[in-house]
Amino acid sequence: MYSNDVLVLTREESVMPHQPKPLLSCPPREETDNMRQYQRLLRPYRVEARPLCFPMPPHPVINAPCYDIGAGGLCVEASRSFEIGELMQIRVHVPKLNKYSPSFFKSYENDAEQYVQCIGKVAWVRSSGGKYLVGLNFTDIDPDQRKALKNLVQKAMQAQS
CA–CA dist 124, 139 (Å, integer): 14
Residue pair 158/150 in contact (Cβ under 8 Å)? The answer is no
> Hey, where are the domains in the chain?
6-160
Residue-wise pLDDT for 75-114, tens only, equals 988 888 889 999 988 888 888 888 888 875 555 566 667 8
pLDDT band at 6 (very low <50, low <70, confident <90, very high): very low
The pTM (predicted TM-score) of the whole model is 0.74
**Count of CB atoms situated within 10 Å of the CB of 16:** 18
Residue-wise pLDDT for 46-70, tens only, equals 888 888 877 766 765 555 678 899 9
What is the assigned CATH class of domain 6-160? mainly beta
3-state secondary structure of 68: strand
